[in-house]
Amino acid sequence: MEKVMIECRGLCKTYRVAKREAGFGNAVKALFSREYELVRALREVSFTVQDGEIVGYIGPNGAGKSTTIKTMCGILTPDAGECVINGRTPWKERKKHVREIGVVFGQRSQLWWDIPVMDSFHLLRDMYKIEPVVYKRNLEELTELLALKEILRTPVRNLSLGQRMRCEIAASLLHDPRILFLDEPTIGLDAVSKLNVRRFIKKRNREHGTTVILTTHDMQDIEALTERVLLIGKGRLLMDGKLDELKRHCSTKKTLRIKYRGQVPKLFEGAALLEKQGFACGEAGPGEDPGGESAGELTLSLDPHVKSVSAAIADLAAQTELLDVSVTDITAEEMVAELYEEYQI
């Protein structure tokens, strides 16, 4: 039976932000009296997460993602609402709660800057009171999976961002947390490091059943890792559903990309041209005219309700010689852009 791991109901949080007009006069005035503006970071946010799920938490900057994560970590006390994680209210039983969670804030570091990574790990071991046997086992496993062997003795300041992030993730998992909160874990990483991090998170979830809550602006993270997505904007939870459903909600359109040789195919009903690119044929040498024969690449948007994918390809193939065809759904990136627009966030 599935077990509810996280249950949030009606979370509200308002920040008070000092505001003033620019300029010297106003700065002097602000020394004596300040004006404040209330920013409602969370308005009645409610959701539940099952044990062992990976949930992507997305939204534009300032939407309230980090506020939610920090509330779930027990760092922030909300103004109203309830949150029960693994049977505890995070901000009321902070110390007990945090023993069960691992946290990575991609933009900050939990490792001591001037000393080797290993020393930071030892400190974490003592803070979490991890049993020596468990610590040894976890350290070995993480060292192996995240390829840390060579870097554990290096001071953190000498690590590259990718190496550091692997160490940060290891640091957050030494104490076998049931839940892992990842706040932008791939920010600033190169392609290889991103893939490694994603693969590791997936594996961890599969093998240890760790529940993962992930915030990111990188939609490839979301596509690679999560099935379920929560969308937040202006402090409100706007959508909660499977990634595929969300995509379908936005658009059922397919993107059709073809390379062709021969005459430019004519478009038919249900298709719209997104991008067109001509290029010279392989046979034509430099300076030669490719002749009457043209070639190129077309990107089309296809509405499968008007014309099915196979009919569209058949139609195109009849008109010209197709060299390459690819059909894709809209990308998560496009989906998010559309959602942000739809909700005006």
Partner 1 sequence: MKAFKSIFLIRIINGLQYRAVAIGEVLMRFFWGLMEILAYAALFRMGSENFSMTLTQTVSYVWMQQILFVLFRGVVGDAEIYSTIAEGSIAYELVRPVSLYGRWFSQSAANRIVPTLLGSLPLLAIVPFMPGDYRMVFPASAGQILLFLVSCVLALGVVVAFAMLMNISLFYLTTHRGIRMIVSVTTHFFSGGMIPLSFFPDSVRRVVVLLPFASMRDVPLQIWCGTLSGADACRGMLLQIFWLGVLVVTGYAWMEQALKRVVVQGG
d(CA 77, CA 272): 50
How many residues contact partner 1, by CB under 8 A?
35
Please give the Cα distance from 170 to 58 (Å, whole number): 24
**Chain centroid offset of residue 35 CA:** 36
Stretch near partner 1 under the rule CB under 8 A, chosen from 51-59, 90-98, 140-148, 336-344: 90-98
User: For the window 175-194, what string marks contact with partner 1 as x by the rule CB under 8 A?
Assistant: --------xx----------
- CA–CA–CA angle 96, 97, 98 (5° rounding): 95
Does residue 226 bind partner 1 (CB under 8 A)? no
Q: Which of 122, 178, 217, 257 binds partner 1 (CB under 8 A)?
A: 122
Least distance from C-beta 161 to partner 1, angstroms? 15
The token pair that represents 216 in the structure block: 């990111």
> Which one of 4, 27, 80, 127 is in contact with partner 1 (CB under 8 A)?
127
Q: Which is nearer to partner 1, 40 or 257 (CB)?
A: 40
CB of 35 to partner 1, least distance (A): 16
> Checking DSSP bridges between strand 228-233 and strand 54-58, what pairing results, if any?
parallel
The interface with partner 1 within residues 50-89 (CB under 8 A) comprises 66, 70, 73-77
E strands, 266-331, are: 271-278, 295-302, 321-328
User: Shortest gap between Cβ of 119 and partner 1 (angstroms)?
Assistant: 6
CB 309 within 8 A of CB 258: no
Q: Dihedrals φ, ψ of 225, to 5°?
A: -110, -40
Q: Which of 48, 89, 110, 220 binds partner 1 (CB under 8 A)?
A: 110
**Residue 56 one-letter amino acid:** G
Stretch that binds partner 1, among 116-124, 217-225, 278-286, 290-298 (CB under 8 A): 116-124
Q: Which positions from 257 through 286 interact with partner 1, judged by CB under 8 A?
A: none
Work out whether strand 295-302 and strand 4-19 pair parallel, antiparallel, or are unpaired: unpaired
**Binds partner 1 (CB under 8 A): choice among 114, 150, 289, 324:** 114
Q: How far is the CB of 68 from partner 1 (least distance, A)?
A: 12
95 binds partner 1 (CB under 8 A): yes
Element (H, E) at 40: strand 35-50
Report if residue 37 touches partner 1, rule: CB under 8 A: no
Between helix 191-208 and helix 161-173 the angle, nearest 10°, is 10
**137 alpha-carbon distance from chain centroid:** 29
Tell me the closest approach of the beta carbon of residue 296 to partner 1, in angstroms. Answer: 45
99 touches partner 1 by CB under 8 A = yes
Q: Are 86 and 7 in contact (CB under 8 A)?
A: no
Strand partners, 102: 180
Residue 92 Cβ, how far from partner 1 at the closest point, in Å? 11
For residue 338, what is the enclosing H or E element?
Answer: helix 332-342
- Select 108 or 305, whichever has its Cβ closest to partner 1: 108
Picking from 268, 247, 252, the residue whose alpha carbon sits closest to that of residue 305 is: 252
- What sign has the CA pseudo-torsion 295, 301, 307, 313? positive
- For residue 120, state whether it binds partner 1 (rule: CB under 8 A): yes
Closest approach, Cβ 275 to partner 1, in A, equals 36
Among 30, 84, 123, 134, binds partner 1 (CB under 8 A): 123
Chain contacts with partner 1 (rule: CB under 8 A): 15, 66, 70, 73-77, 94-96, 98-99, 101, 103, 105-110, 112, 114-115, 119-120, 122-124, 126-129, 183-184
